[in-house]
């Protein structure tokens, strides 16, 4: 049975995440600098059209270098549930990738120097068949990796040996006489 979000009733959300907030520091600095520059220079020129150029340049810089990165950050979401990993992204064209824990996959963490200092990292999920899913700049990457390993083990344990559902007709027929 599915609920209104398309998830099964037995499926629970474990975590919802965005990229690490560290990537919004530069847009915040740019916002402060642009607002300060526009406030300082606007009205200081004799020609009105130059003042308008300063104002509209400031607005364009805020849209391109502050709002666009912020909305890009907001529009990439990672959801871990008890059954799958869901990656939603997109601004005008939305894409949604899912990877079931029951399929089994490898979990790899890649880190740069800044990511190591902030304990974040890129988590690469490889199922061996499909293109790898990359969770970029996830905060608490080691904890997320441990949770993913636990969810995979739980899903594999529910399926039983060999990928067959527990209680299925196809069982391992070895028994002690």
pLDDT tens-digit series, residues 114-138: 999 999 999 999 988 888 999 999 9
The mean pLDDT of the chain is: 85
* 157 touches 38 (CB < 8 A): no
What CA dihedral angle connects 36, 42, 45 and 49, to 10 degrees? 130
CA dist., res. 114 & res. 64, Å (int)? 24
Question: Are 115 and 102 in the same domain?
Answer: yes
Q: What total of structural domains would you count in the chain?
A: 2
> Angle CA(69)–CA(143)–CA(159) in degrees, nearest 5?
110
Question: Are 68 and 113 in the same domain?
Answer: no
Lowest mean pLDDT among 6-15, 43-52, 135-144: 6-15
Nearest to 76 by CA among 100, 56, 49, 96: 96
pLDDT value of residue 156: 81
Asked whether residue 169 is assigned to any structural domain, the reply reads: no
How many CB atoms lie under 10 A from the CB of residue 32?
Answer: 11
pLDDT value of residue 103: 86
Asked whether residue 172 is assigned to any structural domain, the reply reads: no
Q: 1 pLDDT exceeds 60? A: no
Nearest to 55 by CA among 68, 71, 42: 42
Question: Are 86 and 152 in the same domain?
Answer: yes
Task: Give the strands of the sheet with 84-89, arranged side by side.
Answer: 13-17, 77-81, 84-89, 95-100
For the residues 68-82, what does the mean pLDDT come to? Answer: 94
Question: Are 62 and 121 in the same domain?
Answer: no
| Last residue of one domain, picked from the residues 53, 73, 93 | 73
**Domain of residue 144, residue span:** 13-19+77-163
CATH number, position 104: 2.30.29
Nearest to 70 by CA among 35, 24, 104: 24
- Dihedral sign computed on CA atoms, order 81, 86, 92, 93: negative
Question: Are 97 and 55 in the same domain?
Answer: no
What CA dihedral angle connects 84, 85, 90 and 93, to 10 degrees? -30
């Amino acid at each position: 049975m599915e609920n209104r979000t398309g998830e099964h009733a037995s499926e629970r959300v474990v975590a919802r995440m965005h990229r690490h907030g560290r990537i919004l520091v530069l847009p915040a600095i740019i916002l402060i600098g642009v607002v300060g520059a526009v406030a300082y220079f606007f009205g200081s020129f004799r020609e009105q059209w130059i003042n308008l150029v300063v104002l509209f340049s400031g607005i364009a810089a805020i849209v391109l270098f502050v709002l666009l990165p912020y909305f890009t950050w907001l529009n990439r979401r990672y959801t871990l549930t008890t059954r799958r990993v869901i990656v939603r992204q997109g601004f005008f064209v939305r894409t949604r990738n899912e990877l079931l824990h029951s399929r089994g996959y490898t979990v790899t963490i890649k880190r740069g120097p800044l990511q190591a200092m902030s304990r974040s990292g890129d988590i690469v999920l490889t199922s061996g068949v499909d293109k790898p899913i990359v969770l970029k700049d996830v905060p608490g990457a080691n904890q997320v990796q441990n949770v993913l390993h636990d969810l995979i083990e739980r899903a594999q344990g529910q399926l039983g040996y060999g990928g067959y559902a527990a209680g299925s007709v196809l069982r391992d027929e070895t028994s002690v006489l």
